[in-house]
Amino acid sequence: MTKHILIIGLGLIGGSLAKALQRNKDIHVAGYDASALTARKAFKMGIIHSSPPSLEQAAAEADVIVFATPVGATIKLMEQSKYWNLKDDVILTDTGSTKLQIMEASKKLNHLFIGGHPMAGSHKSGVEAAKEVLFENAFYILTPDEKTDEKSLQFLKDLLSVTKAKIKVLAAEEHDHMTAVVSHFPHLIAASLVHQLDQEDKFPFTRQLAAGGFRDTTRIASANPEMWRDITTQNNAMIVHQLDNWMQQMEQLKEMLQTNDPEPIQQFFNHAKVVRDELPIAGHGAMFSVFDLYIDIPDVPGIISELTGYLAEEQISIVNIRILETREDVFGILVISFQTNEDRARAQKCISTRTVYDTYIS
């Protein structure tokens, strides 16, 4: 029996989820977007099977409704859903980056709601950027509440399994705490580092030196400001807690530097290196990331086209490519970025077998 899935919000996440779900031939994916043009485009591109004329009609036919909208918009839609003529056993879910506010709002609903957060993204946005492989090997977090029965949770897990994501079940509070540590708070730090650079007007050449490791370290500061405004305000308490811990650690570090004893300073860096080196390399974490390959190449004409030609022959897609001018803290002169760890591994093997150039993974 065909199951009807309605995805509300046809941007990168909603569109990619719609495409991935079509791997299951027993479901019908309907899509709705506040922009009628976006919905028509998604239909013409084959991202959705149908684009119903009204949200209420589409919701009435759905077995699963996915709110693939920003958290604020999702909460408003959840409120509206109380007036929709829904199936008794419909499952509502979302794709929001924070979960506590969503799960609190779900308590007022008349139907089952299971929170969701696919931890994947892209440097591109919009329905045109949608691709069915976006969630592969990424974590997809589900946050059920005490009302969720095991049968419904398993149904949603099975439905999402075609995305090839790593589905994990967490409490909403756990989710928001952990994403604050490894995603939300680091975005604030990256943004603050860029602000600090922006205040550096005594030596203008500093910006040129920032083109190397500093630019890589603060890459996440280029993320969508409106989205990160919403995430920061929605997970405010967790982030403030992390900021308190950070400021306490910075005070300790300041005292260490004022004392200027080399031994504890080395221990500080050594501990950070050990912990960082133990972090997993494969797969996606809580933040969108590309996978960089550093390559030592000579400065000769045609060398970059040679390398990209090898990658093209093996159909390895490149996200970005750049030359580093400041390399004091990184290996390699050329950095090629890939969408997945698998693509980077294939590229490293390709370049290693076809050339004598050294490659590094940071």
pLDDT in tens, 304-331: 899 999 999 999 989 888 876 544 444 5
One DSSP character per residue, 196-232 reads HHHT--S-TTHHHHTTTHHHHHTGGGGS-HHHHHHHH
Residue 229 reports pLDDT greater than 60: yes
pLDDT in tens, 129-177: 888 888 887 889 999 999 999 999 999 999 999 998 899 999 999 999 9
More confident of the two residues 109 and 325: 109
Does the 3-170 domain belong in CATH 3.40.50.720? Answer: yes
Domains 3-170 and 175-262 in one fold: no
Superfamily per CATH, domain 175-262: 6-phosphogluconate dehydrogenase C-terminal like domain (1.10.3660.10)
Taking a C-beta distance cutoff of 8 angstroms, is the pair 48, 7 a contact? Answer: yes
The two three-digit tokens of residue 49, written as one number: 């099977």
What span, in angstroms and rounded, lies between the C-alpha atoms of 10 and 32? 7
Q: What is the CATH T-level fold of the domain 291-360, as seen in this structure?
A: Alpha-Beta Plaits (3.30.70)
Mean pLDDT of the chain: 89
Q: What is the mean pLDDT of residues 85-100?
A: 96
Helices 185-198 and 236-259 sit at what angle, rounded to 10 degrees?
50
For the chain, what percent of residues have pLDDT higher than 70?
93
What span, in angstroms and rounded, lies between the C-alpha atoms of 206 and 339? 30
Domain ranges of the chain: 3-170, 175-262, 291-360
What span, in angstroms and rounded, lies between the C-alpha atoms of 239 and 98? 12
pLDDT at residue 339, rounded to an integer: 80
What span, in angstroms and rounded, lies between the C-alpha atoms of 28 and 314? 34
Residue 350 reports pLDDT greater than 60: yes
* Chain position carrying tokens 């093997």: 349
